[in-house]
Amino acid sequence: MPTSPADTRRLFEQELQRRGIEFGIDPESGRHSLSIAETDLLVSLSNLERSLGDGDDVDRVARFVDTVVETGSHGTDDLSAEQLYWAMEPNDYEEPADFRVPLSDRVDRVLVHTSPDGGTIHWVSHDMLEQLGLSETQAQDMAFENLASSLREATVEWSDVDGVRLAYLSTSLPFKASLLLAPNLREVVQHTIGWPVLAVAPDRDFLYFWAAEHANFASRVGAVTVQEYQEAAYPLSTEVFEISEEGCRAIGEFPIPA
């Protein structure tokens, strides 16, 4: 059973208090306001709330706070153009990202910056681009180049399921679903899987794809897509995406049980 907003807030505040981290509530946004290593943060609990309710809430809250602390500790001292990426993100956050492009009814393409170890992902702000000395266009182009580089370093693996090659990627990128947005996807996968492709990306680090000519194969991955979405710490969508020369678009969606 999903955790309520009140319970999520209580668990989050208890973890902050356990660590001796002072906080307040921002009057305009209603988000938690705290300072980590002289970095002021406004924290939304919407993503945390979606991940709770399956029995390990305390551990998940602790990991969430770990990420908040790491974000504040790094600040913007380690900004690098080589760490800019486009990432698939759910579009139901309380406040939208500064740089985003809608991909579907559920998902946006968001400009992000990762920490050097890939463990922390920040949505890019106008201030971050100013510090990097990049224009919006330059940053967006670099984000696509970095995705393409990550995809070239990835390994395409697949399993034969009743004559259909169900593919997945082995990569160090912690949000592998976003490699669907890489501009070189066709050249990397077409000789192994085919082109265009259909894909499911129920969470940030989960991706299945197969040749679009096998459209009916989508029914074979519906159950695992919904299950992964419901259990994920960073859920994306239960939509089925088509990736072709026209880009990435949703062509259907698996229903989530009430």
Report the Cα 190 to chain-centroid distance in Å: 25
The residue from 150, 172, 195 where one domain ends is 150
Q: Note whether 167 and 193 are within 8 A (CB).
A: yes
**Same domain, residue pair 158 and 246:** yes
Task: Give how many domains the chain has, as a whole number.
Answer: 3
In a domain, 19, yes or no: yes
- For a pLDDT cut of 90, what percent of the chain falls above it? 56
Tell me, what DSSP letter sits at residue 159?
E
**Same domain, residue pair 174 and 223:** yes
Alpha helices for the chain (secondary structure H): 5-18, 46-51, 57-74, 126-132, 136-153, 185-189, 222-231
The residue from 90, 116, 150 where one domain ends is 150
In a domain, 258, yes or no: no
pLDDT of residue 72 exceeding 70: no
Question: Structure tokens of 127?
Answer: 């201030």
Q: What is the rounded CA–CA span in Å between residue 30 and residue 66?
A: 21
Residue 37 domain boundaries = 5-74
pLDDT of residue 12 exceeding 80: yes
In a domain, 161, yes or no: yes
Axis-axis angle for helices 57-74, 5-18 (nearest 10): 60
**Same domain, residue pair 121 and 184:** no
Query: Which of 211, 239, 256 has its CA nearest to residue 103?
Result: 239
Q: Note whether 30 and 76 are within 8 A (CB).
A: no
Element (H, E) at 241: strand 239-244
Alpha carbons within 13 angstroms on the beta-carbon side of residue 233 total 13
Q: What is the pTM of this model?
A: 0.78
Largest CA distance in the chain: 57
**Same domain, residue pair 175 and 245:** yes
In a domain, 212, yes or no: yes
Q: What is the rounded CA–CA span in Å between residue 22 and residue 39?
A: 13
Q: What is the rounded CA–CA span in Å between residue 244 and residue 240?
A: 13
Q: What is the pLDDT of residues 231-255, one digit of tens each?
A: 887 899 999 999 999 999 999 999 9
Specify the amino acid at residue 71: T
pLDDT of residue 68: 78
pLDDT of residue 6: 86
